[in-house]
Structure 1
Amino acid sequence: MADNIKVMIVDDSALVRQVVAQALTSAPGIEVIGTASDPLFALQKMKAQWPDVLVIDIEMPRMDGISFLKKIMAERPTPVVVCSSLAEKGAQASFEALGAGAVSIITKPKLGLKSFLEDSSNDIVQAVRSAARANMQALRSTSSPPLNRPKLSADVMLSASGNRALERTTDQVVAIGTSTGGTQALEAVLTKLPATALGIVIVQHMPEKFTAMFAERLHNLCQIEVREAKHGDRVIPGRALIAPGGRHMMLKRNGAQYVVDVTDGPLVNRHKPSVDVLFRSVAKFAGANALGIIMTGMGDDGARGLKEMREAGAKTIAQDEASCVVFGMPKEAIKLGAAEQILPLEQIPAAIVSYGRGL
Structure 2
Amino acid sequence: MTSTQGSDASVKAHSPDEPFTHRLATVADDVERFLVALLDENLRAGEIARPSRLMEAMRHAVLGGGKRLRPFLAIETARMLGGSEESAMAAGAGVELIHCYSLVHDDLPAMDDDDMRRGKPTVHKAYDEATAILVGDALQTLAFEITADAQWQPDPAIRADLVLGLAKASGLGGMVGGQLLDLTAEGRFGEVSLDVDDTLRMQAMKTGAILAYSVEAGAIVGHADLEQRTALLRYGKALGQAFQVADDILDREASPEAMGKATGKDKDAGKATLVDRLGLDGARAECDRLVGVCEEAVAPWGERARILREAARFTVARKT
The normalised TM-score by structure 2 is: 0.30
Larger radius of gyration: 1
Greater helix fraction, Structure 1 or Structure 2: 2
